[in-house]
Structure 1
Amino acid sequence: MAKTTIERVDEIPLLIYWLQKMQVEVMIDRVLPPPHGNRQGLSYGQLALLFVVYVIYLCNHRLCGMEEWVAQHHGLLRQVTGWPIQVKDATDDRLGDLLSELGEDESRGEQLQQELGRHLIQAYRLPTERGRYDTTSFSVYHAPDEQGQAGQGWLAFGHSKDHRPDLLQFKQGLGTLDPAGVPLYTAMVPGNGADDPLYVPAWHQMSQTIGHRHFLFIADSKAAALASRSYIDVEQGRYLFPLPMTGKTPEYLRAWVLQPPVEPEAILLADRQDDHSQPVQIGVGFVIELGLYDLPQEAGQTRHHWLERWLVTRSDKLAQRHQASLEKRLQQAEAELGRLNPKGKTPALELTAAAQKVLDRRRVVGLLTVTVSETVSEQVRQIGRGRPGPNRPTEIVQLCQTHLTVDRHPAAIAEARQLAGWRIHVTNAAPDQLSLTQAIDYYRDEYLVEHGMHRFKRGSLPVLPLFLQIPERIRGLMLLLFIALQALTLLEFVAQQKLAQRGEKMSGLVPGNPKMKTAQPSAERLLARFTGLHWLAEGTTGQIVEELNPLQKYILDVLGIPETIYRLAPASSAHISLSSS
Structure 2
Amino acid sequence: MVRTSVDRVWIDPAALRCRTLRIGALPVVNAVLDRLGFDDLVAAYLPEPDARCRLAPAKAIGVMVRNLAVGRRPLYGLTAWAGGYEPGRLGLSSAETAALNDDKTGRALDVLFAADRASLLTALSLRVIHRYQLEVSELHNDSTSITLYGAYRDATGTARAGVRPPRPARGHSKDHRPDLKQLVQILTVTADGAVPLTYRLADGNTEDSTTHIDTWDTLVNLVGGPDFTYIADCKLATRDNMDHIAGRGGRFLTVLPRTRKEDGIGRTWMASGTPAWEQVSRRPGRRKNGPDDIYWAAQAPACSAEGHRICWIRSSVKRTDDAAARLDRIERARARLSELDHTLAAPRCQLKTRSAVEAAAAAILTDTGAARWVRAEVTDTVSHEHRQQKRGRPGKNTAYRRIEHHHFHIEAVTNSDAVAFDAASDGCFPFITNTDAPAADLLRMYKAQPHIERRHATYKGVIEAAPVMLHNDARIDALSFCLYAALLVHALIERQLRQAMTTNGIPSLPLYHEDRACKAPTATRVFEILEPLAATAIVHDDQILTINAPTLDTLQTQLITLLKVPHSAYAPTATPPRNSR
Q: TM-score, normalised by structure 2?
A: 0.87
Correspondence 1:550 to 2:554? yes
**Aligned to 2:169, what secondary structure does the other structure show?**
coil
Q: 268, 277, 297: which one pairs with 1:285?
A: 297
Using a 3 Å threshold, how does the CA distance of structure 1 residues 275 and 321 change in structure 2: closer, same or farther?
closer
- The letter for the 1-side match of 2:448 is D
- The letter for the 2-side match of 1:99 is L
Query: How much does 1:506 deviate?
Result: 4.0
**Aligned to 2:447, what secondary structure does the other structure show?**
helix
Task: Quote the Cα distance in structure 2 between the aligned partners of 1:308 and 1:261.
Answer: 23
Question: Are the aligned partners of 1:184 and 1:209 in contact in 2 as well (CA < 8 Å)?
Answer: no
Question: Are the aligned partners of 2:146 and 2:468 in contact in 1 as well (CA < 8 Å)?
Answer: no
Superposed CA offset, 1:311-365 (max 9, x none):
1111221222222111111122222323345135531112222322333333333
Task: Quote the Cα distance in structure 2 between the aligned partners of 1:468 and 1:557.
Answer: 39
Which residue in 1 is equivalent to 2:3? none
Show the 5 A alignment for 1:73-472: 73=85, 76-78=86-88, 81=91, 83=93, 85-104=95-114, 108-145=116-153, 154-259=167-272, 263-269=276-282, 281-288=293-300, 308-340=308-340, 342-344=343-345, 345-385=351-391, 393-430=399-436, 434-458=437-461, 460-472=462-474
Count of matched residue pairs: 546
Task: Quote the Cα distance in structure 2 between the aligned partners of 1:291 and 1:417.
Answer: 23
Question: Are the aligned partners of 1:78 and 1:85 in contact in 2 as well (CA < 8 Å)?
Answer: no
Using a 3 Å threshold, how does the CA distance of structure 1 residues 454 and 570 change in structure 2: closer, same or farther?
closer
Question: Are the aligned partners of 2:88 and 2:573 in contact in 1 as well (CA < 8 Å)?
Answer: no
Which residue in 2 is equivalent to 1:62? 74
Task: Quote the Cα distance in structure 2 between the aligned partners of 1:560 and 1:260.
Answer: 58
Which residue in 2 is equivalent to 1:298? none
Task: Quote the Cα distance in structure 1 between the aligned partners of 2:385 and 2:232.
Answer: 68
**Aligned to 2:253, what secondary structure does the other structure show?**
strand
Question: Are the aligned partners of 1:27 and 1:45 in contact in 2 as well (CA < 8 Å)?
Answer: no
**Aligned to 1:86, what secondary structure does the other structure show?**
helix
Superposed CA offset, 1:134-179 (max 9, x none):
0011222211539x97879521111212222111111111100013
In structure 1, stretches of 5+ residues that fail to align are: 295-306, 574-581
Task: Quote the Cα distance in structure 1 between the aligned partners of 2:501 and 2:440.
Answer: 27
Using a 3 Å threshold, how does the CA distance of structure 1 residues 9 and 281 change in structure 2: closer, same or farther?
closer
Which residue in 1 is equivalent to 2:49? 35
Question: Are the aligned partners of 1:378 and 1:399 in contact in 2 as well (CA < 8 Å)?
Answer: yes
Question: Are the aligned partners of 1:213 and 1:236 in contact in 2 as well (CA < 8 Å)?
Answer: yes
Query: How much does 1:46 deviate?
Result: 2.4
Query: How much does 1:391 deviate?
Result: 6.8
Question: Are the aligned partners of 2:185 and 2:201 in contact in 1 as well (CA < 8 Å)?
Answer: yes
Correspondence 1:12 to 2:26? yes
Query: How much does 1:568 deviate?
Result: 2.1
- The letter for the 1-side match of 2:190 is L
Query: How much does 1:190 deviate?
Result: 0.8
Task: Quote the Cα distance in structure 2 between the aligned partners of 1:159 and 1:551.
Answer: 44
Task: Quote the Cα distance in structure 2 between the aligned partners of 1:121 and 1:311.
Answer: 32
Identity across matched positions, percent: 23
Which residue in 1 is equivalent to 2:492? 490
Using a 3 Å threshold, how does the CA distance of structure 1 residues 88 and 388 change in structure 2: closer, same or farther?
farther
Question: Are the aligned partners of 2:278 and 2:298 in contact in 1 as well (CA < 8 Å)?
Answer: yes
Task: Quote the Cα distance in structure 1 between the aligned partners of 2:173 and 2:89.
Answer: 46
Query: How much does 1:373 deviate?
Result: 2.2
Which residue in 1 is equivalent to 2:7? none
In structure 2, stretches of 5+ residues that fail to align are: 1-10, 159-164, 346-350
Superposed CA offset, 1:117-146 (max 9, x none):
111111111111211000011222211539
Question: Are the aligned partners of 2:32 and 2:492 in contact in 1 as well (CA < 8 Å)?
Answer: no
Query: How much does 1:248 deviate?
Result: 0.8
Question: Are the aligned partners of 1:9 and 1:533 in contact in 2 as well (CA < 8 Å)?
Answer: yes
Superposed CA offset, 1:261-294 (max 9, x none):
8511012147x699999x9552212124866786
Superposed CA offset, 1:344-400 (max 9, x none):
553111222232233333333341122222222111224444566777654332212
- The letter for the 2-side match of 1:55 is L
Using a 3 Å threshold, how does the CA distance of structure 1 residues 141 and 79 change in structure 2: closer, same or farther?
closer
Task: Quote the Cα distance in structure 1 between the aligned partners of 2:22 and 2:393.
Answer: 96
Superposed CA offset, 1:507-562 (max 9, x none):
33101x21x33342111111222232222234256434431222212111101111
Task: Quote the Cα distance in structure 2 between the aligned partners of 1:386 and 1:544.
Answer: 109
Task: Quote the Cα distance in structure 1 between the aligned partners of 2:460 and 2:482.
Answer: 15
Question: Are the aligned partners of 1:32 and 1:102 in contact in 2 as well (CA < 8 Å)?
Answer: yes
Which residue in 2 is equivalent to 1:21? 35
Query: How much does 1:89 deviate?
Result: 3.5
Which residue in 1 is equivalent to 2:563? 559
Query: How much does 1:241 deviate?
Result: 0.6
Task: Quote the Cα distance in structure 2 between the aligned partners of 1:429 and 1:82.
Answer: 51
Q: Which moved more, 1:492-501 or 1:540-549?
A: 540-549
Question: Are the aligned partners of 1:114 and 1:208 in contact in 2 as well (CA < 8 Å)?
Answer: no
Correspondence 1:72 to 2:84? yes
**Aligned to 1:373, what secondary structure does the other structure show?**
strand
Query: How much does 1:94 deviate?
Result: 1.5
**Aligned to 1:456, what secondary structure does the other structure show?**
helix
Task: Quote the Cα distance in structure 2 between the aligned partners of 1:417 and 1:159.
Answer: 32
Q: Which moved more, 1:188-197 or 1:332-341?
A: 332-341
